[in-house]
Amino acid sequence: MLLFHLLNRAVKRSTCFHDKGHNAKCGVSGNLYMLIYGAIEIFLSQCPNLEKVAILSVIAAVTSFAYALIALCLSTAKLSSNHEFKGSLMVAMVGNTEATSERFWQAFQALGNIALAYTYCMLLLEIQDTLKSVPAENKVMKRVSLYVVVGTAFFYISLGCIGYAAFGNDVPGNILSGFYEPFWLVDMANVAVIIHLIGAYQVYAQPVFAINEKWIGSRWPTSSFNKIYTIRFPCSRKGSLHLSMNRLFLRTIFVVITTAVAMMFPFFNAILGLLGSVSFWPLTVYFPISMYIVQAKIKRGSYHWFGLQALGFVCLIVTVVSGIGSVAGMVEFLKKARLFHIEM
- Domain map of the chain by residue range? 2-334
In this structure, how many other beta carbons lie within 10 angstroms of the beta carbon of residue 60?
Answer: 21
Looking at residue 326, its amino acid is S
Cis peptide leading into residue 135 (ω within 30°): yes
Angle CA(308)–CA(311)–CA(312) in degrees, nearest 5? Answer: 90
Taking the C-alpha atoms of residue 248 and residue 246, their distance in angstroms, rounded to an integer, is: 6
Provide the mean pLDDT of the chain.
75
Taking the C-alpha atoms of residue 302 and residue 61, their distance in angstroms, rounded to an integer, is: 40
DSSP line for 191-256: HHHHHHHHHHHHHHHHHHHHHHHHHHHHHSTT-GGG-EEEEEPTT-SS-EEEEEHHHHHHHHHHHH
Looking at residue 205, its amino acid is A
- Are β-strands 240-244 and 228-232 bridged in parallel, bridged antiparallel, or unpaired? antiparallel
> pLDDT tens across 135-176, in order?
776 677 778 777 877 887 887 788 888 888 888 777 777 777
> pLDDT tens across 266-314, in order?
666 677 777 777 878 888 888 888 888 888 888 888 888 899 899 889 8
What pLDDT does 92 receive?
Answer: 46
- What is the pLDDT tens value at each position of the chain, 344 positions in all? 545 455 455 555 555 555 555 555 555 555 677 788 888 888 888 877 766 666 777 787 788 888 888 888 888 888 888 777 776 665 544 444 455 666 777 777 777 777 777 766 666 666 666 666 667 766 777 787 778 778 878 877 888 888 888 887 777 777 777 777 777 788 788 788 888 888 878 877 888 888 888 888 888 877 777 777 777 666 555 666 677 788 888 889 998 988 888 777 666 667 777 777 787 888 888 888 888 888 888 888 888 889 989 988 988 888 888 888 888 877 777 777 666 665 44
What pLDDT does 247 receive?
Answer: 82
Residue of 285, 295, 278 lying closest to 121 (CA atoms): 285
What pLDDT does 96 receive?
Answer: 44
What pLDDT does 310 receive?
Answer: 92
Taking the C-alpha atoms of residue 66 and residue 301, their distance in angstroms, rounded to an integer, is: 46
In this structure, how many other beta carbons lie within 10 angstroms of the beta carbon of residue 254?
Answer: 17
